[in-house]
Amino acid sequence: MNWYYIYTRITHFVTAKHRHGHGIHSPMIYDFVRNVVDGNSRKSLVDRIEDHYPAKKVHYAITPDRLYDYDAFISIIHYPFKSKELNNKWEIWRNNNSCLSISLKNCIVIFWDTQLPNRHYKIRS
**Is residue 16 helix, strand or coil?**
coil
pLDDT tens digits for range 57-88: 887 776 666 665 557 788 888 766 777 787 78
One-character DSSP codes across 42-101: TS-HHHHHHHHSTTS-EEEESSGGG---TT-SEEEEES--SSHHHHHHHHHHHHHS--EE
Question: Is it the case that residue 39 has pLDDT exceeding 80?
Answer: no
Contact (Cβ atoms closer than 8 angstroms) between residue 76 and residue 59: yes
> pTM for the whole thing?
0.73
Q: What is the pLDDT of residue 67?
A: 62
Domains of the chain: which residue ranges?
3-122
DSSP assignment letter at 18: B
- d(CA 113, CA 119) in angstroms, rounded, equals 12
